[in-house]
Structure 1
Amino acid sequence: MTIKKQYLKNKSQCKVTFLAQKEMGGGAKEMHVVGEFNQWDKCATPMKKDKNGTFTATVNLDLNKKYQFRYLSDGVNWFNDAKADAYIHSVYGNCDNSVIVI
């Protein structure tokens, strides 16, 4: 997993690309990045699968904020990002959420 941040000149947003390696999804057919930036909508941010099985999605996020997020594989399996800026305990279950700081 990788997160790429591209700070845009003269804008109050950062272009963020989330990348989930093929191994993470275990042969997943589809992957979504789900978090505070899309109101935890499981379908709002689908990730595009390339030929080698890697999934990517790009979103613009506001500066000076923290966002919790996770990856959802095939609508069933949840994963954190090993390269997240931080982790915070989720109030919905016995797990942590990934955090990205912009």
Structure 2
Amino acid sequence: MAITKQYLKSKPICKVTFSVPAEEAKEVSVLGCFNEWNAEKAVKLKKLKNGTFKGTVDLAKDDSYEFRYLVDGTFVNDAHADAYVTNQFGAENAVMNL
């Protein structure tokens, strides 16, 4: 798993690219505070030929965002997140700082 951050010089925006190697998975999306943890607003990642799912979202810089991947209905954290925080359900959410 990987998160790539590309800061724009012209706007206070960061393009965040999520990459999730999940060759056996059928569907991978990203849920977080930036889409209100709503599955209908989730960032759907596209499956590449090499089995990696990839997608990009624009987020405001100078902020922190909690998120988790939803891989075929199961929540998974990013091993390369900037931090982790316990959520209201007792599980951990990944955190990215922009």
TM-score, normalised via structure 2 length: 0.94
In the TM superposition, what whole-angstrom CA distance separates every residue of 1:35-70 from its partner, at most 9, and x where no partner exists?
011111123210000011100110001011000000
The 10-residue stretch of structure 1 (39-48 or 53-62) with the greater mean CA deviation from structure 2: 39-48
Identity of aligned residues (%): 48
Matching of residue 57 in structure 1 with residue 43 in structure 2: no
Q: What SS does the aligned partner of 1:10 have? A: coil
Amino acid of the structure 1 residue aligned with 2:74: N
Partner residue, 1:38:
35
Instruction: State the 1:22 CA deviation.
Output: 2.1
The answer for the alignment partner of 1:99 in structure 2 is 95
Residue aligned with 1:43, SS:
helix
Does residue 6 of the first structure (1) align with residue 3 of the second (2)? no
Asked if residue 19 in structure 1 is aligned to residue 19 in structure 2, the reply is: yes
- TM-score scaled by length of structure 1: 0.90
Structure 2: where are the runs of 5+ without partners?
A: none
Point out where structure 1 has 5 or more consecutive residues left out of the alignment.
Answer: none
SS of structure 2 residue aligned to 1:37: helix
Q: Distance in 1 between matches of 2:96 and 2:20?
A: 15
1:4-62 Cα distance to aligned partner (Å, 9 max, x none): 00000121110000111126xxx110000100111111232100000111001100010
Q: CA–CA distance in 2 between the matches of 1:14 and 1:3?
A: 12
Post-superposition offset of 1:94 = 2.5
Residue in structure 1 matched with residue 69 of structure 2 by the alignment? 71
